[in-house]
Amino acid sequence: MLSTQPVSHEAGRQRQGRLWSNLKEVCDLLHLPPISINSEELLFQHVQFKTGQRVHTIGQPFDMLYVVNSGFLKTVLIDEFGNEQVLAFPMKGDLMGVDGIHNKTYSSEAVALSDCDLVLLPFKKLTTLGRTHVELENMMYGVMSRELVREQAMIGMLGALSAEARVARFLVTLSERFSQMGYSSKLFNLRMTRHEIGSYLGLTLETVSRTLSAFNEIGLISVDQRTIGIKDADALKSLRRLPPSRTRSKLPARAKAAAAEATVPLLATL
């Protein structure tokens, strides 16, 4: 489902020995409808990070958002004992740094898991520009809301799914992302360790390893170290195996009033 427009594969152009992208290219990257701004002149600088480098750290003053143009990263929280909690594995098209707006300080740390090329979006520049370009402003709100929805889905997954289901969904999501990026959805390399996957999924590295081996056993995937082959995507997708009886939705008796109309125009959905 990639745009087939003649954007250079490595989006951006050289200038002063450095890559720059215009707003339309950034929108493409974020999978957003392009914005009609006389924007050929409005360029955003790229930056490169090497494997292991930190893009931003916790507590660092916030002024930039980042869009991944190529490469793989992780974002992590670090607790008071130095333990890492992986929050996400940003890759091409993902936005980073939104958590820094509040408090003017990044609340997470972003680390490159491979060499990366990121587009720099100076936040001030964006908001200023947004004030005169409704579309851009809407895009900003939209992207932030999208992040929020993603995190809600993550919470749902951590709260309700078994280890197997989490690993299965992780693989499916990765596969879809790779496919979006134009890589094979059937065969790819993990850029992160079992440990990092485990942290991301709320599991230990051993459980991740064992679960992958088990999927391999029953022919859902093939595993060789970091190389994953997806053999039965449908089975992976439908693998739920959630702790069953939990959390069945039902309105309490006291809620019968809800049938009545609300105090304000309110659609009677459901």
Q: Which residues sit at the interface with DNA, rule CB under 7 A?
A: 162-164, 190, 193-195, 198, 202-207, 209-210, 212-213, 223-226, 243-246, 250, 252-254
From the list 138, 227, 121, the residue with the least C-alpha distance to 184 is: 227
Instruction: Report, in Å, the least distance between residue 227 CB and DNA.
Output: 9
Nearer to DNA, 144 or 223 (CB): 223
164 binds, among a copy of itself, DNA, none (CB under 5 to 8 A by kind): DNA
For a copy of itself, the closer of residues 160 and 223 by Cβ is 160
Binding mask 219-238 for a copy of itself (x = CB under 8 A): --------------------
Please enumerate in sequence order all residues whose Cβ is within 8 A of that of 53, keeping only pairs 6 or more positions apart, or say none: 111, 112
SS3 77: strand
Concatenated DSSP letters of 219-239: TSEEEETTEEEES-HHHHHH-
Q: Does 76 bind a copy of itself (CB under 8 A)?
A: yes
Choices 2-10, 23-31, 98-106, 224-232 (CB under 8 A): range interacting with a copy of itself:
98-106
Shortest CB 239 distance to DNA, Å = 12
Place of tokens 């590295």: 205
| 9 near a copy of itself, rule: CB under 8 A | no
Q: 172 — alpha (psi -120 to 50), left (phi > 0) or beta?
A: alpha
- Least CB distance from residue 130 to DNA, whole Å? 40
CB 79 within 8 A of CB 138: no
Measured CA distances, 78 to 24, 87, 96, 153, 192 (Å) = 35, 10, 17, 21, 18
69 binds, among DNA, a copy of itself, none (CB under 5 to 8 A by kind): none
Query: For residues 26 and 37, is the Cβ–Cβ distance under 8 A?
Result: no
CB of 62 to a copy of itself, least distance (A): 9
Q: From a copy of itself, DNA, none, which one binds at residue 226 (CB under 5 to 8 Å depending on kind)? A: DNA
Give residues 152-191 in contact with a copy of itself (rule: CB under 8 A).
152-156, 158-160
Among 15, 31, 50, 241, binds a copy of itself (CB under 8 A): 50
**Are 78 and 109 spatial neighbours (Cβ–Cβ below 8 Å)?**
yes
Residue 80 vs residues 77, 83, 84: alpha-carbon distances, Å: 10, 7, 10
Give the nearer residue to DNA in terms of CB position, either 17 or 252.
252
